[in-house]
Chain A
Amino acid sequence: MSVKIGIPRGLWFYDYFPLWKTFYEALGAEVIVSDITNKAILNQGVKNTVDEACLPVKIFNGHVLALKDKVDYIFVPKIMSVYEKEYICPKFCGLPEMVKHSIANLPPMIDIEINFNKSRKSLIKTIYLFGSYVTKNPIRIRTAYLKALEEYNKYKEAMKAGYIPIDGYLQKDQSKLNIKPKTRIAAIGHSYQLFDSYGSMSLIKKLQKENIEVVIPESLNMKSINNLASSLEKKMFWSYGRKTLGTALHYTKNKDIDGIVYISSFGCGIDSVIEDIFERWARKSNIPFLLLTVDEHTGEAGINTRLEAFIDMIDWRLNNEGNLSTHG
């Protein structure tokens, strides 16, 4: 019988899922992913997490709980740093410990540390450690890794081509094929917030429904984003923050969008800095900017009102005639 590995659909899932899934499947393991975030997962997560954690961490714990009794291992790597001289959010660095102490009776966790802060020299060893849960054969692990890398690159290419991984499933906006979208809005936020339709209150789908072309940070050329981010006065050493600020610089320079919607979870330490800088730059460049802060609430009225008003404002700015739609 093959080993069952559970991958929670939360946090870095949206960035690396194809890599991990392909890797373990190529090694012969069975990969089980938790369901798309729903109310039960959220409720469980909120109940089993320290109250000061942010919403995405609570959702992540909910996903871990959903997998708890179904798998042999739960995949919760300790991601410290994926780029040189940078770190991931502190909550990621301590995630395996946080999960372990929040939830009792868990199956063993795959909690290998990923730390490329100093260099990538440890990469091969790290991969071997991850693979060793299924096999001890280094050659098989290497082959599986190469295959996984290929899938991962395909995933990144797809996002560049305009696909958006909503809930982890790459989707191209169908509505765009028939009518020309009226406006182009950049949806900004941490991947685990933006692409989780429950956690983001379906932000992307709501925008697309209004016939708006939605662009995501992942669709940009990461090299140019990194170059732009390196022009900052001081290095942004949180990886997610660096990506977001690079994106902000790209949009404020190129101005190829009609507005920016930034979704952030209440209490996010990185966003408390990044969001503010982003907003200032956007305002200086005269790009409409909307900040949506979400927490555990399920009432969508507040988000809808702000979004509708924002869309009206952009339409109004663009045609300046007062031709507002009658609904919204």
Chain B
Amino acid sequence: MINCYLGIDVGSVSTNVVLMNDDKEIIGKVYTSTQGKPIDAIKRGLKEIKAQVRDEIKVKGVGTTGSGRHLASMIVGGDVVKNEITAHGIAALNFVKGVKTIFEIGGQDSKIILLRDGIISDFAMNTVCAAGTGSFLDRQASRIGIEIQEFGELALKSKNTVRIAGRCAVFAESDMIHKQQLGHNQEDIIKGLCDALVRNFLNNLGKGKEILGPIVFQGGVAANAGIKKSFEEALKQEIYVPPHHNVMGAIGCCLLAQEKAEKKNTTQFKGFDIVNSGYQVKGFECEDCSNLCEVVEIMRDGQLMARWGDKCCKWSDKVKDDIEKLA
């Protein structure tokens, strides 16, 4: 029997599940797309990770993060619910010695985290523009008809970079189209796009921040060798991409769950059997006041489990009573 910790990161584009043992070794990891259905993605992730691990395991703690962290925690039974920034910071600190700067680019968010003396000292997330994120790259790749996996390699082949506007996703796209119609090479345009995203990232998030090495680049976009190279060219130093770069948030959750389990030796984990349960989401608009809150109800096998979305909390507070009444 191996003791392990489960970390789940439900992001906008991908849902990642990681199992880590007591020695902080990753014994299983799943990277699956969320596709707008986080509950299905969580179930799929759990099922796949269970199949990956042959040994008998005992889950000692569960941590969740990502924009779907509350949903995931409710479904799986989370012991720790943590924001992405802290989770990413903790993961990088444990796997890369002396890290001082983290770049994290995910599906919809990009972040910069500064660490000094082993603690987070400053951070920023992208403000209003989506140009520096994975979903934009995905879209551009599919528009020019190449697989996102090949995107980075193509950028590396470029010999004569084209300049693309990077501040706004819409401008970047129209600029790319103009350059393409002028007859520029595809790889030069792709490299230009990588440079533009990096420029946008450093201007928007890195503004006024002291970016010191070692620098770690993580998140789904870290798989893109073109972006990594553009970062290295812009900052004139090596960028380190950790082996589990695309599931670092989930790893951070494992570490937090382990820390929690050391203090308190019980877990809320509901077991891997939940993948066989059917989950329904019902929603209604509360019309009791002019806020017209969109209230969401989560049901497991027809039974009410949780409710949220109401500003005044009258529905979410009532959930316990309603469950008892129904039971």
Contact = CB atoms under 8 A, between A and B. Distances in A.
Contacts of B289: 38
B24 interface: no
Interface residues of B, number: 26
Contacts of A309: 83-86, 120, 123
Contact of B128 (A293, A306, A328): A293
B290 A328 contact: no
B67 interface: yes
Interface string A309-328: 11011001100101010111
Nearest to B88: A309
Please classify how large the interface on chain A is, using the bins under 10, 10 to 19, 20 to 34, 35 or more. 20 to 34
A41 B289 CA distance: 12
Contacts of B121: 288, 313, 317
A289 B293 CA distance: 31
A317 B123 CA distance: 13
* A interface: dominant SS: helix
A326 B256 contact: yes
A38 B85 contact: no
A235 interface: no
In the complex, which of the residues B79, B85, B128, B256 has the most CB atoms of chain A within 10 Å of its own CB atom?
A: B85
A146 interface: no
B83 A305 contact: yes
Contacts of B127: 291, 293
B291 A327 contact: no
In the complex, which of the residues A279, A289, A308 has the most CB atoms of chain B within 10 Å of its own CB atom?
A: A308
Nearest to B63: A326
A283 interface: yes
Given A288-B122, A313-B120, A326-B256, A283 B290 contact: no
A313 B123 contact: yes
Contacts of A328: 81-83
A36 B120 CA distance: 38
B177 interface: no
Interface in B109-165: 119-123, 125, 127-128
A232 interface: no
A280 interface: yes
A293 B129 CA distance: 12
A35 interface: yes
Contact of A322 (B84, B125, B259): B259
Contacts of A295: 128
A280 B127 CA distance: 18
Contacts of A322: 259
B290 A41 contact: yes
Contacts of A327: 80-82
Given A293-B128, A326-B256, A39 B290 contact: yes
B27 interface: no
A280 to B, nearest CB: 6
27 contacts: A35-B290, A38-B290, A38-B291, A39-B291, A40-B291, A266-B128, A288-B122, A293-B127, A293-B128, A301-B67, A306-B125, A309-B86, A309-B120, A310-B123, A312-B82, A312-B85, A312-B120, A313-B86, A313-B120, A313-B121, A316-B119, A320-B119, A324-B82, A324-B86, A326-B82, A327-B82, A328-B83
Please name the 5 residue pairs, one residue from A and one from B, whose CB atoms are nearest each other, closest first. A309-B85, A40-B290, A308-B83, A38-B290, A38-B291
